[in-house]
Structure 1
C-alpha cells in the first residue's frame, strides 16, 4: 500500500499555486522549443543525407522513419499516461506514488525497449517489405533501419523519463538534454557519413550511428542530472524495488495510454489518406502540398506545447483537488493559443510567397498552388489548437476514449468525406477546405464533451482500498445503512 510522503516539495515546479498564465507559459515554452529542435534535427539530418548520399538514401531514411514514428506513437500514449499519473500524485504531494509510477514505467518499458531493438534488427527486412519500400532504396533503408533500432532503447526510455519530469511540472530539464541530443546528432552526421578524421566512412549507416551515440549520451546525461539534482523521479535504496512493475499501475498505463497512442495513428493515417487524394492532382500540386505541410508542422507546435502544458497543470491541480483552477488553466491555454497561433497564421499568410519560395524557388509553377492552399487551409490550425487544449484537459483526469472517437469522426467521415463528396463541385479546393471543415467538427464535438461529457467524474485509476472505505463511511447514514454491503 502506498504511503504518503508528507506534504512534498513546493517550488518552481509546483503548478497548483500562483498565477496560472505565467506558470502555463513558463511550462509551455521549453516544450515548444524541444519540439522545434526535434523538427530542425530531422531537417538538418535530411540535408546531410540528401547532399552527401543522394535521393535514394533520402528515400531510404523516409521509409525507416515511418516505422519509427509508428513506434513512437504508442510510446507517446504510454508516456502521457505516466505524465498524468505522476502529475496527479505530485499535485497531492504523494512523492511515494510519483516514484512508484516512474519505477513501474521504467521497469516495464526498459525490457520492452530492448526487445524492440533486438526484434527490429532481426525483422528489419520484413518491415521494409511490408512498407513496400522501393527496390532501388531497399538496401540503403535496411542498413539505416538496423542501426536505428540500436538507438531505440535509449530513445524510448528517455521519452518516459521526460514525460515523467513534465508530470512533476519540470519542462526545462528535458529541454537541455534535447539540445544535447540534437547538437550531437546533427554534428556527428557528416562525421560518420563521410568518415572524417579517424572515423571510417559508414555512408547511410553513419547517419543512424550519429543518432545512436547522441541518444545514449543524452540518456546517460539525463540520468546523471536527475540524481545529482535529487529530482522527484529519482529512485534510491529501497525505492529501487519500484522498478518491479506494479500490476495495477501498469494496467492503468496500458489501458489509458493505448487510446492516446491511437490518436497519433489516426492523425498520421488520415494524413496519408489525404496525401493519396492530393497525388491524383499531379506532381506540382503534390509538391505544393508537401511544402505547405512543412510550414504547418511548425504552426501546430504552439498548440501541442500548450496542450501538453495544460495536461500537466490540470493533472497536478486535479490531484490537489483544486478543480476551480482547472477551468482557468484551460481558458488561459486557449487564449495563448489564439494569440500565438493567430500571429503565426497572419504572418504566414502575409509572407507566404517568401516562406514558400525557400523550398520551391521563386519561379516554381508549384508556388501559386502552395499559396492558394495556404490561404484556404492555414486558418484551420487555430481551431485545431483549441481542440488539442480541450483534449489535454480532459485526459488529465483519465478521459481518453472520448477524444479518440472525436478525433476519428472529425478526420475520417467529416474531413475525408467532405474532400471526396464535394470534389465534383469544388475540384481540388474540396481537399484544402476539408481541413477547416474537419477542424470545425472536431472543435464542436470537443467543446460539447468538455462542457457536458462527464469527464470530471472519470478516474485515472481505481482509488486505493482505504479511500474506498473512507468514501463508504462518508456516504453512510448516521444511524447506519439500511442495506449493508460487503
Structure 2
C-alpha cells in the first residue's frame, strides 16, 4: 500500500526522486558520491597499508593482506544481500510505498547484524585454520591471526553500515553514505598509527592496533549514521510502531537471500578468477609478478567509475520500475553507457599520458619490471571501457530482479574464456596471452550481456512484493 506521507522530490537536501527530471543530470549527481565512497575506501586501505608497512615491516604487511582476504571471503555474500536490499527499497520507493521500504530495511538490519555476529564468531574460532587454508606464510601466520581477530570485532558494524548505505541509495540518497564512509576512513587512518605505535596516551598494540582501529572506526561510523538519521528524520528511519519491522519478515528475508545469493556468488567468481590469474602470472617470474601487481593498483581506480555507475543505474532503474516508468529505464541505460564511457576513457587517457611516472612511483624508474608493466597497460587497460558497459547493463537487469543471468555471463567470461585463453594461448603469444585475456574475456561478457539485455527477458523478472 502506498504511503500518503511519501516524501516529495527535494524534500530532503540529499534525497533524490529518481523517477522524474532530467536523467543525465540526475544520474551523474547520484553516481558521483557513490564513486567518491569507492575512492575513499581504496585510499583508506592504501594509507593503512603504508602505516603497517612503515611501522611494523613487511611481515606485518603480508599478514594484514592475508587476513583481509580471509575477511573478504567470509563476507562476500553480504554484498549481494545488500544489493538485493537496495533494489527492493528502490522499487518500493518508486511506488511511493514508504512503509514497504521501511519493512525491507527493518528485516535487512536485523539480518545483517545477525550475519555479522556469525562471521565474528566463526572468524574468532577458526582464524588460524582459515589463514592456513589460504596458504599464509608460517612466519606471518601468528601476526595475521592476531590482526584478523581484532579486525573481526568491527564486522557487525561494517556489514550493517554497508546495508544502510545501500538502503539509502535505494531511496535516492547517495550523499549521506559518503559522509559516513569519510568518517570511518578518517578515524581509521588517524587511529592506525596511534594504536600501532602507542603515540601519546594510546597503548602500543602493534598489529592488533591496526585491527582495533578499523573496528572502532566502523562502530563509530555506524553509530553516527544512526544518530544522523534520527536527528534529520530521514524518511527510512524506523520509529514508534515501525520498530516492529526489526522482526524479520519471512517473505522479505527470503527475497533478500534468494536474490542476493547469485549477486554474492559473483564476488566469489571474481575472486576465484583473480587467484587463478595470479597463479599464471607468478609462473612468469618475479619481475612479471611485480609489474602485474603494480598495474592492478592503477586498475583499481580505472574500474571505479564502472562500479559506481553500475550501482547508480541499479538504484535509479529500480525506482523507475517500481513507479512503472519503463520508458525511462532504457534511457537511463543509454545515458549511463555514454557517461561511464567518457569518464573511464578520460581516466585511461590520463594513466597512459603519465604511465611512466605513475608506474615508476611503485617500481622505480630503473626497474626491469617497468617495461613489462607498460606493456600490460597498453594491451589490457582499454578493456575497462567495455567492463563499464557490462556493469551498466547488469545494473539495469538486476533492478528488475534478474540476477542469475548476470552471474552466468560473468562466470563464462572470467573462467572458461579469460582463464582458458590466458593459459591456452601462451604457446603462440607467450606471456602476452595473459594480458590479451582481459579484453577477450570482457568482449565475451559484453556481447552476452548486450544480447540478454536486448532480448527483454529480464523485464519479466520479479522481486518479491514489499507489502
Q: Calculate the TM-score normalised by the size of structure 2.
A: 0.97
Report if the CA contact (8 A) 2:197-2:206 is conserved: yes
The partner residue of 1:257 within 247, 256, 260 is: 260
Q: Tell me, in whole angstroms, the C-alpha distance in 2 between the residues paired with 1:248 and 1:453.
A: 27
Q: Tell me, in whole angstroms, the C-alpha distance in 2 between the residues paired with 1:95 and 1:59.
A: 46
1:211-255, CA deviations, whole angstroms, 9 ceiling, x for partnerless residues? 111111100000001111111221111111100100011000000
Report if the CA contact (8 A) 1:341-1:382 is conserved: yes
Q: Tell me, in whole angstroms, the C-alpha distance in 2 between the residues paired with 1:244 and 1:212.
A: 26
Q: Tell me, in whole angstroms, the C-alpha distance in 2 between the residues paired with 1:462 and 1:421.
A: 47
Corresponding residue of 1:439: 442
1:287-338, CA deviations, whole angstroms, 9 ceiling, x for partnerless residues? 0000000000000000100010000000000000000000010011100011
The partner residue of 2:353 within 350, 353, 361 is: 350
Report if the CA contact (8 A) 1:108-1:244 is conserved: no
Q: Counterparts of 1:42-441 in structure 2 under 5 Å?
A: 42-441=45-444
Corresponding residue of 1:8: 6
Shift of 1:462: 5.4
1:396-432, CA deviations, whole angstroms, 9 ceiling, x for partnerless residues? 0100000000000011111111112211000001110
Q: Tell me, in whole angstroms, the C-alpha distance in 1 between the residues paired with 2:153 and 2:270.
A: 27
Shift of 1:345: 1.1
**3-state DSSP class of the match of 1:136?**
coil
1:42-78, CA deviations, whole angstroms, 9 ceiling, x for partnerless residues? 0000000001101100010011100121233211100
* Higher mean displacement: 5-14 or 270-279: 5-14
Report if the CA contact (8 A) 1:415-1:437 is conserved: yes
Q: Counterparts of 1:7-46 in structure 2 under 5 Å?
A: 8-12=6-10, 13-46=16-49
**3-state DSSP class of the match of 1:135?**
coil
Q: Tell me, in whole angstroms, the C-alpha distance in 2 between the residues paired with 1:359 and 1:346.
A: 19
Report if the CA contact (8 A) 2:390-2:449 is conserved: yes
Structure showing greater radius of gyration is 1
Q: Calculate the TM-score normalised by the size of structure 1.
A: 0.94
Q: Tell me, in whole angstroms, the C-alpha distance in 1 between the residues paired with 2:433 and 2:53.
A: 34
Which segments of structure 1 move beyond 4 Å, counting only runs of 4 or more?
A: none
1:120-166, CA deviations, whole angstroms, 9 ceiling, x for partnerless residues? 21221221122221110111011100001101010011111111001
* Higher mean displacement: 170-179 or 224-233: 224-233
Report if the CA contact (8 A) 1:291-1:356 is conserved: yes
Q: Tell me, in whole angstroms, the C-alpha distance in 2 between the residues paired with 1:33 and 1:299.
A: 13
The partner residue of 1:461 within 449, 459, 464 is: 464
Report if the CA contact (8 A) 2:2-2:95 is conserved: no
Q: Tell me, in whole angstroms, the C-alpha distance in 1 between the residues paired with 2:115 and 2:448.
A: 36
Q: Tell me, in whole angstroms, the C-alpha distance in 2 between the residues paired with 1:463 and 1:64.
A: 38
Report if the CA contact (8 A) 1:86-1:168 is conserved: yes
**3-state DSSP class of the match of 2:140?**
helix
Query: Could you say if the C-alpha distance between residues 461 and 100 of structure 1 is closer, same or farther in structure 2, counting changes exceeding 3 Å?
Result: same
Report if the CA contact (8 A) 2:106-2:247 is conserved: yes
What runs of 5+ residues in structure 1 fail to find an aligned partner?
465-486
Q: Tell me, in whole angstroms, the C-alpha distance in 2 between the residues paired with 1:119 and 1:281.
A: 37
Q: Tell me, in whole angstroms, the C-alpha distance in 1 between the residues paired with 2:431 and 2:129.
A: 36
Report if the CA contact (8 A) 2:113-2:156 is conserved: yes
Report if the CA contact (8 A) 2:75-2:119 is conserved: no
Corresponding residue of 1:474: none
Report if the CA contact (8 A) 2:106-2:245 is conserved: yes
* Higher mean displacement: 119-128 or 415-424: 119-128
Query: Could you say if the C-alpha distance between residues 463 and 155 of structure 1 is closer, same or farther in structure 2, counting changes exceeding 3 Å?
Result: closer
RMSD: 1.1
Q: Tell me, in whole angstroms, the C-alpha distance in 2 between the residues paired with 1:89 and 1:97.
A: 6
What runs of 5+ residues in structure 2 fail to find an aligned partner?
11-15
